[in-house]
Amino acid sequence: MWTLYNILFPFVYLLMTPYYVGRMWRRGGYGKGFMQRFGLLDRETRAELSALCAAGANDDRCRPVWIHAVSVGEIQIALRFIEAWRGDEPDTVFVVTTTTSTGHRVMETQKPAGVILLYFPVDTPLIMARSLTRMMPRLVVLVECEIWPNLIRECSRRSIAIGILNGRLSDNSYRGYCRFRRFAANVMGRVDMVCTQDEEDARRYRDLGAGHVRVVGSAKYDVAQVGADDAAIAREILQKLEIEPDRPLVVGGSTWAGEEDALLSAFDQLLRIDERALLVLVPRHFERSGAIEEAIRKKSLRYFRRSQLETAVQEQPGGDELQVLLVDTVGELRSFYAAATVIFVGKSLTQHGGQNLVEPAAYGKPVVVGPNMENFRTVTRDLLDADAILQVADEAGLVQRLSELLVSGVARASYGDRAARLVEGKRGSLQRSAEILRSVLTSQGES
């Protein structure tokens, strides 16, 4: 099975190259550090890593901790984990790897001192061996569902501790691993510790061969930090568009294909309830903005694209004339969540998997999601059990729930208050995880 994996993986990787090249072209940012994916580092990075390795030659505690995170959400978990770890070991150096250019940019702008940022190397024996030799980590931490067989195997060979942080296995991932149960057990059995979100995830990891599993709760609660000025960016944008501060904001966050159409249809009904309502669409992938703009035009709604605010390319419908704001820029979703009246969280109605709903809940906002929240099973169940969010089955349910919330300020306040209190009470997962993973190092003889 190892031989088969190492033959097939490079083949599949090459087969998918046109897709990645296309994404590189659309999003940009992939060229920088591209060769890092093959374990090839520039002179400056090699010198930085060499200095770390030299410092740690006689003291394992000086060797870096390698964290691998993919998405922006996982990057935020990595950042909070670094904070938690440094509470007891403030001088620890970290190497953080990511896969996407978006995640790379976020980490680049937010990383604290003593963090080296790289792109994740391709999971082949030669490249992983080269990367581990360069980094000399004392611990490798994989965030959520990032399981790379050659990395895990090479760490095991070198007696490098490896742990999984905020571990989860979706239904599809679990079924996929079950098809290759012996191979999965060979890989999972080499992991020193898995910190999972809930008992169901823990059961799945154990079933696949993980020997050391601890349930610590979801790290999403720790990541959802709330600041007093978080809505400032959104308010500034709305002010420039001459939007009155008391206008109701219906925010569709991280929406995917089909969900903007559903929200636009729902908005027709919402305008009958309150003609002053403003629909704010924040798609997950801003490159889809052209198609979304066309859908808005078909509804004959007056709209504005956020990216045109400073350039004045688009004629600006100000004040009460504006009905839809299309946020086709990056990094402003949190601010619109903080300023929202009612929120729909995407990839849950017409798509599967869901997006992070803890962040809007932390702001004390009423949140509506669709039926497909597989990737956020734990937090969705927590919030539903606390009657802190509303989950709908279809577009008709979406219209009904958004209408009820728009009408009733009492309902909005009740759902928002329950959501914020639950998020606050569930924090602490990353501190527990840091303590557990540090104890793994201690049990392996690190002093």
Q: Tell me the pLDDT tens digit for each residue of 119-132.
A: 999 999 999 999 99
- How do residues 246-269 score in pLDDT, each as one tens digit? 999 999 999 999 999 999 999 999
Dihedral sign, Cα of residue 78, residue 83, residue 87, residue 91:
positive
**What is the pLDDT, as a whole number, of residue 57?**
47
Residue 287: CB atoms within 10 A of its CB come to 11
- Is pTM beyond 0.75? Reply is yes
**Residue 24: per-residue pLDDT:** 62
Residues 240 and 388 in one domain: yes
Per the CB < 8 A criterion, the answer to whether 99 and 119 are in contact is yes
| Pair 241, 325: CB distance under 8 Å | yes
Residues 385 and 437 in one domain: no
Burial class of residue 429, CB neighbours in 10 A (0-12, 13-18, 19+) = buried
Percent of the chain topping pLDDT 90? 74
Query: 416 and 439 share a domain?
Result: no
Q: Tokens representing 223?
A: 């990541």
Question: How confident is the prediction for the chain on average, in pLDDT?
Answer: 91
Residues 328 and 360 in one domain: yes
Which helix or strand (DSSP H or E) is residue 121 part of? none
High-pLDDT (> 70) share of the chain, %: 92
pLDDT reported for residue 447: 40
- CA distances to 80, 354, 392 from 331, in Å: 18, 19, 27
Is there a domain that residue 1 lies in?
no
Rounded Cα distance between 441 and 447, Å, is 8
Which pLDDT value is given to residue 348?
A: 97
Is residue 301 domain-shared with residue 354, that is, in the same domain? Answer: yes
**Which whole number is the average pLDDT over 213-224?**
96
| Residue range(s) defining the domain that contains residue 358 | 232-425
Q: What is the mean pLDDT of residues 338-363?
A: 96
User: Is 35 among the domain residues?
Assistant: yes
If asked whether residues 306 and 342 sit together in one domain, one would say yes
Q: Are 433 and 83 in contact (CB under 8 A)?
A: no
> 363-366, long-range: CB within 8 Å, 24+ apart, which pairs?
363/226, 363/230, 363/337, 363/338, 363/416, 363/420, 364/416, 364/417, 364/419, 364/420, 365/337, 365/340, 365/341, 365/412, 365/416, 365/419, 366/342, 366/390, 366/405, 366/411, 366/412, 366/415, 366/416, 366/419
Do 386 and 432 reside in the same domain of the chain? no
Looking at residues 39-44, what average pLDDT do you find?
84
- pLDDT score, position 403: 96
Q: Which of 52-66, 94-108, 254-268 has the lowest mean pLDDT?
A: 52-66
Q: Kindly state whether residue 26 falls inside one of the protein's structural domains.
A: yes
Whether residues 318 and 269 share a domain: the answer is yes
